[in-house]
Amino acid sequence: MGTEIERKFLVTSDDWRAEARAGAFYRQGYLSSVESCSIRVRVSDKRAFLNIKSATLSVTRTEYEYPLPLEDAREILDHLCAGPLIEKTRYFVPHGGFEWEVDVFEGDNQGLVVAEIELESADQAFDKPAWVGNEVSEDARYYNVCLTKHPFKDWPGDDKR
């Protein structure tokens, strides 16, 4: 069984950019989202994947990922996935012996910037960079699958902090 242990945080400044490596543009959509799991197609540069992830509201979730032919993935995104699609640029930022992923969203989620860190265990210690703010790992609004149904552009102003 595949397992993902990931913590997600809001980003409070652009200071991460000084250490970031070149970003990769991601375009992804969902074929299904039910109470137990989501099924996603993602294209990043010249690679594509099918991803199945449990809908658990936790830092630890079951996850499976399989490569897809690029053209098939593009057709699936364009014709089978419910909109809006998730569009974001992911940057990789080394800090404290970990590689942080900073997602800068575009389209209907423009203005949202989150940082994620993958861990070996849910209680693994790590150093939070100064540009990382509140943790949102267990706030479903920040899950990409939820952002397709309730995009950041539609959130009330007070919720965008």
Q: How large is the C-alpha radius of gyration of the chain? A: 15
Residue predicted with more confidence, 2 or 63: 63
> Over 70: is that where the pLDDT of 54 sits?
yes
- What CATH class has 3-160? mainly beta
Across the range 2-24, mean pLDDT stands at 94
Enzyme catalytic residues: 30
The whole-angstrom separation of Cα 61 and Cα 59 is 7
Lowest-pLDDT range of 65-79, 122-136, 146-160: 146-160
Asked if 109 contacts 147 with a C-beta cutoff of 8 angstroms, the reply is yes
For 51, 76, 135, the CA distances from 68, given in Å and listed in that order, are 10, 10, 32
Q: What is the pLDDT of residue 34?
A: 76
Q: pTM value?
A: 0.92
Q: Can you give the residue ranges of every domain in the chain?
A: 3-160
